[in-house]
Chains A and B, each alone.
Chain A
Amino acid sequence: MSSTPPLPGTPMGSPSQPLPPAVDVAIVGAGIMGLALAYHLARFAPRLKIAVIERSYLVSGASGRNGGGLRMQWGDAGNVRLMMESIAECKGLAQELDINLWFRQGGYLFLARSEAGERRLIRNAELHAEVGAPTRLLSAAEAQAIVPQLAVDDLRLASFNPEDGVVFPWPFVWGYAAQAVRRGVTLRTHTGVTRLEPVQDGYLLRLTSGETVQAQRVVNATGAWSHTLNRSLGISLPNQPHRHEILSSEPLKPFLDPLVVDLGSGLYFSQSTRGELVTGITLPDAADGSDTALTLHSSLRFLAHISRTLTHLMPITAAMKVLRQWVGPYDVSPDGDAIVGPSPGHPGVIQLCGFTGHGFMMAPAVGRLLARWLADGTPHPMLTRWDPARFAAGQQSRREDMIIG
């Protein structure tokens, strides 16, 4: 694969990018969330001075480590609606960002092998019909017609949405970054924010480089690292990092259309447009407690566990070869819902975190909706349901049950 250079010579974030001493909005974290927000905010409010500050290089965190799936098939109507918007946004996004996003709508195929799983799929299909998502229930034979290599002996029911799809995550980050910079956003990489200090009319950001930046508003878009930044201000939110493993196979010619999810094991696999099988699974926590420590080490335990489930469900994969495995951090929110909006006690600090492993697919819509909110002050109902104050108020109620991996 090779990227199209959309704007040769346009610098796209560097450790030497000069930072203004004061900005209107400082976005901490240059993952897909922070950059999609910066891009849309620069469009909606071109007079705002915006800086994005990233502790490492671009595509270093979860935005470059996820499986690249986008689906409308959620268990909560709000998430279904949001993902319908996000997928609609992706249809024109390659042109808008001027970069190949490898977006392919091959659908998501969910498999239920238990009675409980069957009930979830039936309930979801009813919900999706109400909301207007084109999900349909399939028999084992119909599922096998879509994926002929699938073992269906114990399959009770499947659900399929042809609008769901996969992307290659990396160019999303580059695309949003290049277009944000082109619209005047300052993008500084390799520079961490060590603390936030309240000052008159905003916050002072202390940086690892020794510099400081003053910002009227600060957005915490640091994903699995967000609780550290919050703690520097005494903001107490319950999201926590959790490591997840994933792998890709050697590239093969196209043979698999949908992304397949097995509800019982949490196994998911898809074929990227690059030809690789990309697959992960729900893995029981390691006995040593290392899963919450933000160490990104790969394990043989994962390889053995996933290979057993995958070769059972797709016997043809036994002869396929694993090429590379890696780890990415989820930012896990206790009720499974994201944490977005003004922070309790610090309305000038906007949270954009807690996406629990599914932020990448939501970012195209969330970046635009939050930018609108910050630009003209009108909160959107798709975001206010994620109010960071809900935990202290004891209002965390429902739990999204379609969190996979």
Chain B
Amino acid sequence: MSERSFVCRCEDVTLAEIGHTIDRGLATVEEIKRYTGLGTGPCQGKECVGLLCRILIERGVLTPAAAQPFTARPPVEPVTFGSLAAGAVEDERP
């Protein structure tokens, strides 16, 4: 892979930028998400988080046992405001 390869295609985060975050001591998926924006676009990390973990493991900053995705944010797929407005408003807990 070239250093200019995209790791996160939604937010244009390159392999070189992942390298910069590691150089600065940021070694967890949650930190790298917040430093680069990785995983915050339309796919919500479904394409890139696995690849990011692989890179971190290959570079020795993460062990396979410690690899975790970042906190999943609902909804699972994008939903229109119109269909949500038409839904029920129960007082629910997850």
Interface positions of A (Cβ within 8 A of B): 1-3, 5, 8-14, 17, 57-60, 64, 170, 174, 249-251, 274, 286-288, 290, 297-301, 303-305, 307-308, 310-311, 317-326
Contact = CB atoms under 8 A, between A and B. Distances in A.
A319 B84 contact: no
23 contacts: A5-B20, A5-B23, A11-B24, A12-B26, A14-B27, A60-B30, A250-B42, A250-B78, A251-B42, A288-B91, A297-B94, A299-B93, A300-B87, A301-B89, A301-B90, A311-B85, A317-B82, A318-B85, A321-B79, A321-B80, A322-B84, A324-B44, A325-B73
A297 B93 contact: yes
Contacts of A64: 34
A73 B34 CA distance: 29
Nearest to B27: A14
Contact of B31 (A57, A288, A319): A57
Nearest to A11: B25
Contacts of B73: 298, 324-326
Contacts of B20: 5, 8
A67 to B, nearest CB: 15
B61 to A, nearest CB: 11
A296 to B, nearest CB: 8
B35 A9 contact: no
A70 B15 CA distance: 34
B66 interface: no
Contacts of B91: 286-288, 301
B23 A308 contact: no
Contact of A308 (B14, B30, B85, B92): B85
Contacts of B82: 307, 311, 317-319
Contacts of A3: 17, 35-37
A320 B92 contact: no
Given A1-B12, A59-B34, A286-B91, A13 B79 contact: no
B75 A174 contact: no
Nearest to A279: B81
A18 to B, nearest CB: 13
B41 interface: yes
Contact of A304 (B23, B24, B36, B89): B89
Contact of A323 (B17, B34, B42): B42
